[in-house]
């Protein structure tokens, strides 16, 4: 049973950043990888407003070639609406990169 109301989890997703394959999700109808490290998450049910909180985290394979501690995740504010949100992952050098796993949780008023 899902809790619904103000301050509840509106949506969440666990996906593969290399190919945008959804591993598990709640209230996410689809995801698009529109560039390296850039993703659009589309909500199944729209949010009450676009003032929701987005928490993003990632897992990068420990291949020895890239430091997983130096990857940053963020929201593209211009693309944060009641029906979708765009997020990205990038290296500390500023290059967009794909991560093996990306986790996004959206909390707000329902």
> Is residue 29 within 8 Å of 90, Cβ to Cβ?
no
Place of tokens 């940053």: 72
Residues of the chain with pLDDT under 70: 1-5, 61-70
Q: What is the pLDDT of residue 72?
A: 78
Distance CA 30, CA 4 (A): 21
Q: What is the mean pLDDT of the chain?
A: 86
Euclidean distance between CA atoms 30 and 27, whole angstroms: 9
Q: What is the pLDDT of residue 1?
A: 45
Burial 23-35 (b: 16+ CB within 10 A, else e): eebebbeebebee
Residue 69's SS3 state is helix
């Amino acid at each position: 049973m899902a809790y619904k109301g103000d301050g509840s989890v509106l949506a969440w997703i666990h996906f593969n950043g290399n190919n945008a394959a959804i591993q598990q999700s709640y209230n996410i109808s689809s995801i698009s990888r529109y560039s390296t490290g850039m993703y659009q998450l589309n909500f199944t049910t729209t949010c009450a407003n676009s003032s929701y909180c987005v928490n993003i985290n990632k897992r990068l394979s420990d291949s020895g070639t890239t430091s997983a501690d130096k990857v940053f995740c963020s929201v593209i504010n211009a693309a944060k609406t009641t029906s979708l949100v765009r997020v990205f992952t990038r290296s500390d050098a500023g290059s967009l990169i794909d991560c093996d796993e990306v986790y996004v949780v959206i909390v707000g008023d329902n």
